[in-house]
Amino acid sequence: MNKFLVALLAILVSGAALAEGTTTLIQMNEYTKIPMYFLAVAFAAYAGTRAQSAAASVALEGMARNPAAADKLFVPMILGLALMESLVIFTLITIFLV
């Protein structure tokens, strides 16, 4: 029953998505783009923070359970945190470029 409802919804929405014309629900201009950019940065910061806190907590839990493995876990943890933070910085940079 669930798959049927999803398929029915996809059929109904695809007609509107593939229709010709340029009508949209929200007309994008400077006054609507700016809040959307701020929402994008807020979402990227939230997702980056959640991912970093999860990665750090798992790595610290692993170090607490096995202190001998702390040297092996530290460098990959820092590298992963740096890559997660770079995604947030890339989002911030694209906001100013657009």
State pTM to two decimals.
0.58
Nearest residue to 88 via CA among 40, 55, 53:
40
pLDDT for 1 equals 66
The Cα–Cα gap between 44 and 69 comes to: 31
pLDDT in tens, the chain (98 residues): 677 777 777 766 666 555 555 556 667 777 777 788 888 888 888 888 898 899 989 988 988 999 898 888 889 889 988 988 888 888 888 877 87
| Every domain of the chain and the residues it spans | 27-97
CATH number for the domain formed by residue range(s) 27-97: 1.20.20.10
